[in-house]
C-alpha cells in the first residue's frame, strides 16, 4: 500500500507477531480507553488488532484527511456527490444541524413532507384499510423494511407488507393472503422508472381495483401522474437524497405507517442526535470516526476481505441486508474522485445474520476457518419481552462469541485448537427504541462516508448497477421470442430457455 494510508503497513508489521490477548494483557486499560458512548449507543473497540501507537497513526490520518471538515461539508450541502454534481443532504431530513442555505432549504422541504405524511396517515387511519403493501426495491425498500420489522408494535393501526422482488412469485404469495378491500399500496421509487417496482405496482393496482388506495413516493412527480396517482396521494423525494440514505424521508412512509408517526419522529430525533455527535465530538471521541478508522485498518492494514455484522436481537435481523446496500453500493468503487485508480483496496464484502441463529450456521468458519473475518457484534441491553432466561442466555452468547474469537483456546489436538486473535467491535444499545435505532443507522451512514473520504472515492453514486439493467432491457424482446442476443453465451442460454416448457 502506498500514499496516505501507507504508514499503517508499518504498524501492521510491528503488530504481526503479537496477539489480541497479549495486547490486552499488556495494556488492560484499553478495555475502557478504547470505548466510547454516544447517547444510547456504547461502542467498545478494545478487541481490534491495533495498539495505541497504531491508533495514533490512524487518528493522524483522520486529521490529515480532515474528517471533521468532511462531515461539515456533507451536512452543509456541498456537492460531495461530485460525479453527479450534487449534495447528499440526508442529514437535513432528520435535523437542522447545518445553517447553510441549501441545508436549511432541504430541512424545510423535509418538514413539509413530514407534515404531508402525517396528513396521509390520518386519512388512511380514518378508512377501512388495515393492510399496506409497500412496493419498492433497494433503498426504496431495505431501510423502511428494517424499521418496520424492528419497531412495529404488535397492536399497530396498519400491518405493512413489503413487495420488492421482480420474481412474480413474490407478488403471488403476498396477494394470496390479503384482502384487496382492506388494502392500500404505496409505490416507492425515487426515479419512478425502476422496472421491478413498476411491474409490481401494475400487478397490485390491477388487484386493488381502486386507484384511490394507491399512493406514491417519488422525486419524479410527472411519472407518478402518468401512472395515474393524484398529487394529493403523492409524497416528494429529491435528487439530493440517495436511495440508500432515504429511509428518513417520505421513503420511510410505509415504516411510519407500521410504527406510528410519533415513533417515526422519535427515530428522526435519534438520528439527528447522532448527526450532532458526529459534527461536534472531537475526533478521538467521535464514534463514526472510530468506526471508519477501524474499517480502514482492517481492510488496508490487515487485509480483511470481508466484514460480518451480527446483531444479537431478532428485531434487527434485517440490519445486515440494509447495511449491505448502504456499505457496498456506497463503497464498491475502484476509482478515485478524479477518475484515477484507488491506491488501496476499498470495500470488503459485508455480510451477516442475526445471532444466535448465526452461531449454528457459519460460526465454525469464523472460529477456525483460514480467513479472519472482522465482526461488528450488536447487542441490546434491555429486552422488551418477558423471557428473562432467554435474554440472559442471549447476552451470554454475545459476550462469549466475541471473547472466544479474540482469545481462542489452546489444545494439543489441532482439530480442537481455536486460534483466536480474531477481531471484533461490540456495539451495545441501551434498548431498541426508535431513537437508538436511528442513531445506530446514522453511525453506519457516517462511517461509510468517512471511509469514502479516506479512500478518496464517491460514496454517493452507483454507476455500477446500470450496465446489468440496460442489458436486461435489451434482452427482454429476445426472452419474449423476438430478436436475438449479441453475446454467444447468452444466445446459447436463450436457446435453452426457449426449448423448455
Q: Give the residue numbers annotated as catalytic, written as ranges.
A: 329, 360, 469
Task: Name the one range near ligand F6P by CB under 6 A: 2-10, 189-197, 291-299, 393-401.
Answer: 189-197
Site string for ligand F6P, 139-178 (x = CB under 6 A): xx--------------------------------------
Q: Does 189 participate in binding ligand F6P (rule CB under 6 A)?
A: yes
Q: Cα separation of 307 and 99, whole Å?
A: 36
Site size for ligand F6P, by CB under 6 A?
14
Task: State how far the Cα of 378 lies from the Cα of 316, in Å rounded to an integer.
Answer: 9
**CA–CA gap between residue 31 and residue 34 (Å, rounded):** 6
**67-76 and 434-455 helices, crossing angle to 10°:** 120
* Sign of the alpha-carbon dihedral angle for 393, 394, 398, 404: positive
Q: Are the CB atoms for 67 and 73 separated by under 8 Å?
A: no
Residue with cell 437508538: 436
Q: In a 10 Å sphere around its CB, with 0-12 CB exposed, 13-18 middle and 19+ buried, how is residue 17 labelled?
A: exposed
Which residues share a beta bridge with 216? 187, 234
Each residue 275-314 as x (binds ligand F6P by CB under 6 A) or -, in order, gives ----------------------------------------
Distance in angstroms (rounded) separating the CA atoms of residues 321 and 164: 13
- Dist CA 113 CA 221 (whole Å): 14
Question: Among 81, 194, 423, 425, which residue interacts with ligand F6P (rule: CB under 6 A)?
Answer: 194
**Alpha carbon 31 to chain centroid distance?**
28
Q: Does 462 bind ligand F6P (CB under 6 A)?
A: yes
Three-state DSSP class for residue 384? coil
Q: Three-state SS for 193?
A: coil
- Interaction of residue 213 with ligand F6P, rule CB under 6 A: no
Cβ at position 189, least distance to ligand F6P in Å: 3
Stretch that binds ligand F6P, among 16-24, 52-60, 131-139, 351-359 (CB under 6 A): 131-139
Which of 465, 493, 495, 497 binds ligand F6P (CB under 6 A)? It is 465
- Quick one: 324 or 397, whose CB is closer to ligand F6P? 324
Residue 260 sits in the site that holds ligand F6P (CB under 6 A): no
Could you tell me the smallest distance in angstroms from the CB atom of residue 190 to ligand F6P? 4
Specify the stretch interacting with ligand F6P by CB under 6 A; choose among 109-117, 170-178, 184-192, 472-480.
Answer: 184-192
Site for ligand F6P in 311-370 (CB under 6 A): 329
Q: Is 190 in the site for ligand F6P (CB under 6 A)?
A: yes
Residue closer to ligand F6P by CB (options 249, 394) is 249
Task: Give me the least distance between CB of 195 and ligand F6P, in Å please.
Answer: 9
Report in angstroms how near the CB of residue 312 gets to ligand F6P at its nearest. 28
Look at residues 217, 209, 166 and name the one whose alpha carbon lies nearest to residue 187. Answer: 217
> Is 472 a binder of ligand F6P (CB under 6 A)?
no
Q: d(Cα 125, Cα 469) in Å, to the nearest integer? A: 38
Task: State in angstroms the smallest separation of the CB of 193 from ligand F6P.
Answer: 6
HSE on the CB side for 371, CA within 13 Å?
16
User: For residue 116, how many C-alpha atoms fall within 13 Å in the half-sphere facing its CB?
Assistant: 21
User: Out of 138, 236, 434, 438, which residue is the one contacting ligand F6P (CB under 6 A)?
Assistant: 138
Q: Applying CB under 6 A, which residues contact ligand F6P? A: 137-140, 189-191, 194, 197, 243-244, 329, 462, 465
Amino acid at each position: 500500500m502506498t500514499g496516505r494510508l501507507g504508514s499503517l503497513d508499518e504498524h501492521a508489521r510491528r503488530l504481526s507477531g503479537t496477539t489480541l490477548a497479549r495486547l490486552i494483557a499488556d495494556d488492560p486499560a484499553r478495555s475502557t480507553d478504547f470505548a466510547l458512548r454516544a447517547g444510547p449507543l456504547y461502542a467498545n473497540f478494545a478487541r481490534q488488532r491495533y495498539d495505541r501507537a497504531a491508533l495514533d497513526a490512524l487518528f493522524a490520518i483522520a486529521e490529515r484527511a480532515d474528517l471533521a471538515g468532511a462531515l461539515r461539508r456533507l451536512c452543509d450541502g456541498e456537492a460531495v456527490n461530485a460525479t453527479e454534481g450534487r449534495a447528499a443532504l440526508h442529514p437535513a431530513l432528520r435535523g437542522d444541524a447545518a445553517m447553510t442555505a441549501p441545508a436549511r432549504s432541504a430541512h424545510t422541504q423535509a418538514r413539509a413532507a413530514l407534515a404531508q405524511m402525517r396528513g396521509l396517515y390520518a386519512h388512511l387511519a380514518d378508512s377501512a384499510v388495515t393492510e399496506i403493501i409497500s412496493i419498492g426495491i433497494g433503498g426504496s425498500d431495505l431501510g423502511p423494511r428494517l424499521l418496520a420489522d424492528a419497531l412495529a408494535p404488535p397492536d399497530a393501526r396498519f400491518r405493512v407488507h413489503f413487495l420488492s422482488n421482480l420474481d412474480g412469485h413474490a407478488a403471488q404469495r403476498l396477494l394470496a393472503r390479503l384482502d384487496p378491500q382492506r388494502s392500500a399500496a404505496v409505490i416507492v421509487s425515487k426515479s419512478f422508472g425502476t422496472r421491478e417496482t413498476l411491474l409490481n405496482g401494475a400487478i397490485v393496482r390491477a388487484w386493488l381495483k381502486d386507484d384511490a388506495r394507491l399512493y406514491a413516493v417519488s422525486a419524479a412527480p410527472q411519472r407518478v401522474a402518468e401512472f395515474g396517482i393524484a398529487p394529493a396521494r403523492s409524497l416528494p423525494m429529491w435528487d439530493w437524497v440517495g436511495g440508500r440514505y432515504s429511509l428518513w424521508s417520505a421513503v420511510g412512509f410505509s415504516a411510519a405507517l407500521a410504527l406510528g408517526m410519533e415513533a417515526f419522529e422519535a427515530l428522526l430525533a435519534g438520528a439527528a442526535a447522532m448527526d450532532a455527535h458526529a459534527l461536534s465530538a472531537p475526533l478521538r471521541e467521535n464514534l463514526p470516526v472510530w468506526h471508519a478508522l477501524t474499517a480502514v485498518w482492517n481492510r488496508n492494514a490487515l487485509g480483511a476481505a470481508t466484514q460480518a455484522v451480527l446483531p444479537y436481537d431478532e428485531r434487527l435481523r434485517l440490519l445486515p441486508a440494509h447495511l449491505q446496500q448502504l456499505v457496498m453500493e456506497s463503497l464498491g468503487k475502484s476509482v478515485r474522485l478524479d477518475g484515477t485508480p484507488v491506491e488501496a483496496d476499498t470495500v470488503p464484502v459485508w455480510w451477516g445474520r442475526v445471532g444466535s441463529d448465526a452461531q449454528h450456521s457459519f460460526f465454525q468458519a469464523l472460529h477456525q476457518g483460514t480467513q479472519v473475518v472482522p465482526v461488528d457484534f450488536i447487542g441490546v441491553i434491555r429486552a422488551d419481552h418477558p423471557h428473562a432466561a432467554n435474554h440472559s442466555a442471549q447476552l451470554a452468547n454475545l459476550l462469549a462469541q466475541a471473547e472466544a474469537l479474540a482469545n481462542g483456546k489452546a489444545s494439543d489436538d489441532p482439530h480442537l485448537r481455536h486460534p483466536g486473535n480474531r477481531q471484533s467491535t461490540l456495539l451495545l444499545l441501551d434498548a431498541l427504541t426508535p431513537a437508538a435505532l436511528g442513531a445506530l443507522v446514522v453511525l453506519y451512514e457516517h462511517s461509510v462516508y468517512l471511509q469514502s473520504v479516506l479512500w478518496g472515492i464517491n460514496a454517493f453514486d452507483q454507476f455500477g448497477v446500470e450496465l446489468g439493467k440496460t442489458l436486461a432491457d435489451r434482452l427482454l424482446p429476445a426472452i419474449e421470442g423476438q430478436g436475438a442476443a449479441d453475446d454467444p453465451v447468452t444466445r446459447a442460454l436463450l436457446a435453452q430457455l426457449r426449448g423448455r416448457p
